[in-house]
A and B are shown apart, each in its own frame.
Chain A
């Protein structure tokens, strides 16, 4: 009898020790890192973005189209920013456009010279905005997951704070002044149609 009690006591002790030594974590919760990108993105959005959009980092859309045919490398060298090796170069392009067609995710914009751009208004993914901004360096982050969460937060803000308030402006025939970010690779067709992620949408005066 005594032996049985002793054995049960041992078993209980072992179970308690095991329970205390284990930490059960759900896999989907494991992805929730402690890093919160909102503060940094908010600071960038309020303090740096307004001056960035009117500064000399923005290439005019006409110059962009011209150099795309003449000297793509010049655009990359002068305006392009990239992350690591092999990624496209991200740059800021701005100017006046006419809304040609409004789609669910993409709005077609036409320049005065007839060049077409697809302005992305939903499902914005990737690093284009983060890299084109030039405001965030991978070396400043403990790990790449934190750095990537900056890109994701920026993309969300574009939808919430740039696209949503401009919905009524997105009608065929409207003239808009748009500044946005796009990706450029060193090689590509001269008539390439670029996806532009808007960072500012204003009606033309």
Chain B
């Protein structure tokens, strides 16, 4: 009787011990990094994702890219899977400044560090570090270029990105900090085109129907600038309406060289992605002391300096 009881106890203890070990090894599977990206339907974000993955792999980690398709629920599903699979760190490009906070909180509770790339979340103490483009300063520079190019008078339009993304508003604010000082410059249309080229083309077409006298359009990213250019070209106003973008995509750099687009803000997706992967590596190897936010400078690119940005 006692022998049987002893055997049962031993068996239970062994099972509990192995379960504990499995749980621990799951929680400390530090050789894998998850790269969660808001959308892979935009070459800029593809570059961000691939650069993060490549740097993580160089540092000896297995890295997997998850596409949130600009959908917060999809992003939550990814976080569920990443937490369940016990990844060591998350290199994260959020879909929404407010909506993504809860996902980062859950990862933190699961003791998985999260390093935000490019897009910010509206919380200070949740992500381990946020590596962000200095969108505001970049768009201050674009705003100055706008006034220099179109002058101090005229009607203009603005195409905003995703309304829930802080980058959208930081860019818009940076631009308006400058342009709003010139009372002769009047914004006659401000519409969201979700950072999307096709949407921007449609939005611009409708703006042009109501406002044919624009002197310029400021677009919150380069994809929208290219969409706006297509609409403006089709309306036969390419020589009258000056277009400004933001991101530093190759298409737009070529368009700046060709005089189709006036300026863009050169972000550094590769630098942001590599920094995030390197910080995650530092964290996983014992250094857990990071600033909460690190802005990365954005340079204004115009025809006068575009050749510095060859490939």
Contact = CB atoms under 8 A, between A and B. Distances in A.
Given A27-B190, A144-B120, A152-B177, A87 B166 contact: no
B137 A126 contact: yes
B268 A138 contact: no
B166 A143 contact: yes
Given A27-B191, A138-B295, A144-B166, A86 B143 contact: no
B292 interface: yes
Interface string B174-196: 10111001000000001110000
Contacts of A152: 173, 177
B130 to A, nearest CB: 9
A144 B170 contact: yes
B56 interface: no
A66 B275 CA distance: 36
Interface in A42-75: none
B105 interface: no
Nearest to A139: B292
A30 B163 contact: yes
A164 interface: no
A10 interface: no
Given A127-B137, A145-B173, A148-B173, A28 B190 contact: yes
B170 A148 contact: yes
A148 B174 contact: yes
Given A27-B160, A139-B291, A143-B97, A83 B134 contact: yes
Nearest to A33: B169
A142 B126 CA distance: 11
A86 B140 CA distance: 16
A173 B212 CA distance: 49
Interface residues of A, number: 26
Contacts, number: 85
- Summarize B's interface: helix, strand, loop or mixed: mixed
Which one of A27, A126, A143 has the highest number of Cβ atoms from chain B below 10 Å of its Cβ? A143
Interface residues of B, number: 38
A149 B296 CA distance: 18
Nearest to B167: A144
Contacts of A28: 190
Which one of B192, B268, B294 has the highest number of Cβ atoms from chain A below 10 Å of its Cβ? B294
A84 B295 contact: yes
Contact of B140 (A30, A88, A125, A142): A125
Interface string A133-160: 0000011011111001101100000000
A33 B178 CA distance: 18
Given A142-B122, A144-B132, A145-B169, A85 B163 contact: no
Given A86-B268, A125-B144, A148-B174, A139 B295 contact: no
A87 B291 CA distance: 16
A27 B176 CA distance: 14
A84 B163 contact: no
Nearest to A28: B190
Nearest to A152: B177
Nearest to A125: B140
Interface in B147-182: 160, 163, 166, 169-170, 172-174, 176-178, 181
A138 B124 CA distance: 10
Nearest to B178: A125
Interface string B83-124: 000000000000001000000000000000000000010111
Contacts of A31: 169, 172-173, 176
B181 A123 contact: yes
Contact of B297 (A85, A139, A144): A85
Contacts of A30: 163, 169
A127 B296 CA distance: 14
Contact of A83 (B135, B166, B295): B295
B48 to A, nearest CB: 16
Contacts of A33: 169
Given A86-B297, A126-B137, 10 more contacts: A30-B163, A86-B268, A123-B181, A125-B178, A138-B292, A139-B124, A139-B293, A142-B124, A144-B295, A152-B173
21 contacts: A28-B190, A30-B163, A84-B134, A85-B271, A85-B294, A86-B271, A125-B140, A127-B136, A138-B292, A138-B293, A139-B291, A139-B292, A139-B293, A143-B120, A143-B122, A144-B120, A144-B135, A145-B136, A148-B170, A148-B174, A152-B173
